[in-house]
């Protein structure tokens, strides 16, 4: 990860079966409405269990931890990634 904010935003999604963690790192000039990201995660079949937001220098870290609602159905993390990336562009 670079120290400058030119490479922001950064999106990381870790899918470990029934658990999902979404980390979005943005700059202070391009912040996201956290409720929009939470809505995407929920609409794609995960139940949000923890949300945190922290600020470090010129970066804002959004972290969402979720669990799959129906384990046999699962969650398509690539679809979540696509939808959040669309949000980041707009």
Q: Would you kindly state where each structural domain of the chain is located, as residue ranges?
A: 10-89
Looking at residue 70, the DSSP 8-state letter turns out to be S
Q: What is the mean pLDDT of residues 39-44?
A: 95
Would you state the pLDDT for residue 12? 95
Q: Are 85 and 12 in contact (CB under 8 A)?
A: no
Q: To which residue do tokens 């490479």 refer?
A: 7
Encode pLDDT of 2-25 as tens digits: 445 568 889 999 998 889 999 999
- Please report the pLDDT score of residue 2 as a whole number: 40
Supply the pTM of this predicted model: 0.83
Measured in degrees and rounded to the nearest 5, phi and psi for residue 34 equal: -60, -35
Does the pLDDT value for residue 78 go beyond 70? Answer: yes
pLDDT at position 59: 92
What is the rounded distance in angstroms from the CA atom of residue 90 to the CA atom of residue 75? 24
Structure confidence at residue 1 (pLDDT): 37
In 3D, which of 57, 52, 58 has the Cα closest to residue 23? 52
CATH number of 10-89: 3.30.70
């Amino acid at each position: 990860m670079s120290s400058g904010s030119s490479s922001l935003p950064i999106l990381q999604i870790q899918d470990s079966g029934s658990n999902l963690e979404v980390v979005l790192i943005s700059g202070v000039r391009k912040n996201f409405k956290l409720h929009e990201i939470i809505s995407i995660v929920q609409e794609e079949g995960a139940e949000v269990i923890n949300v945190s937001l922290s600020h470090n220098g010129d970066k804002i870290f959004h972290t969402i931890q979720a669990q799959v609602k129906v384990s046999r159905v699962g969650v398509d993390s690539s679809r979540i990634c696509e939808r959040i990336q669309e949000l980041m562009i707009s």
